[in-house]
Amino acid sequence: MKKVVIIAIAIVAAMSCGRQGSESSSAVSFDEVLETRRSIRDFDASKEVTEAQVREILTTAQGAPSWTNSQPSRYYVAISPDKADAVRELIGERNKQSTKGAPVFIVSTFVKGLSGFSRGKIFNEIGDGWGAYDNGLSNAYLVLKA
Ligand SMILES: Cc1cc2nc3c(=O)[nH]c(=O)nc-3n(C[C@H](O)[C@H](O)[C@H](O)COP(=O)(O)O)c2cc1C
């Protein structure tokens, strides 16, 4: 079985949360997305995030470039309040406080032994470390879409 590395927890607190006044994401230019994206720690916990919205951003993340298109990222989504709370129990105190009430947690991971390999052998001196690059890119797509 491939080893999975958990490297980050991303929180979807409110879709398009940094772009007030935009009702439809299609009305937002890519420049505006890049310039207004922020790490949101003060959010409206009553705002619903639907499974369809989560699927949409995961599909976008799936389109990120990766080593030989190996797509090593894997995401695990806690979408019910109970499951989101269970994930919150696993994170550090500061993040636990800033994510209070977050309706959805997305745990971001990557599978080792895929990226950076050619015909099953490590391709260069970075060894089995390329997955972190792929996962970072994939996470960037994810947060921009969110
Ligand atoms: C790899 C990585 C890990 C991060 N970890 C945390 C974290 O644990 N808690 C948190 O509140 N923000 C975290 N951040 C968000 C950064 O603090 C934030 O991006 C930075 O302060 C710049 O602010 P901005 O995203 O609003 O532009 C992380 C960002 C990156 C790229």
Measuring from each residue's beta carbon to the nearest atom of ligand 1, which residues come in under 6 Å? 8, 38-39, 41, 95, 98
Q: Is the pLDDT of residue 79 over 50?
A: yes
- What is the mean pLDDT of the segment spanning 66-91? 94
Q: Measuring from atom 14 of ligand 1, which residue has the nearest CA?
A: 39
Distance 71 CA to ligand 1 centre (A): 23
Distance 40 CA to ligand 1 centre (A): 9
- What is the mean pLDDT of the segment spanning 84-108? 93
**In Å, how far are 34, 107, 132 from 91, measured between CA atoms?**
28, 11, 20
Distance 118 CA to ligand 1 centre (A): 33
Bridge partner list, 118: 121
- What is the mean pLDDT of the segment spanning 72-89? 94
Distance 48 CA to ligand 1 centre (A): 23
Number of domains within the chain? 1
Mean pLDDT for the chain overall: 86
**In Å, how far are 11, 60, 93, 107 from 64, measured between CA atoms?**
19, 7, 31, 17
Q: Which range marks the domain in which residue 37 is found?
A: 4-145
Tokens coding 132: 């972190």
Q: What is the CATH number of the domain that holds 74?
A: 3.40.109.10
pTM recorded for the entire structure:
0.85
**In Å, how far are 81, 99, 122, 125, 146 from 45, measured between CA atoms?**
11, 9, 45, 45, 15
Under 8 Å between Cβ of 5 and 131? yes
Q: Measuring from atom 30 of ligand 1, which residue has the nearest CA?
A: 8
- What is the mean pLDDT of the segment spanning 53-65? 97
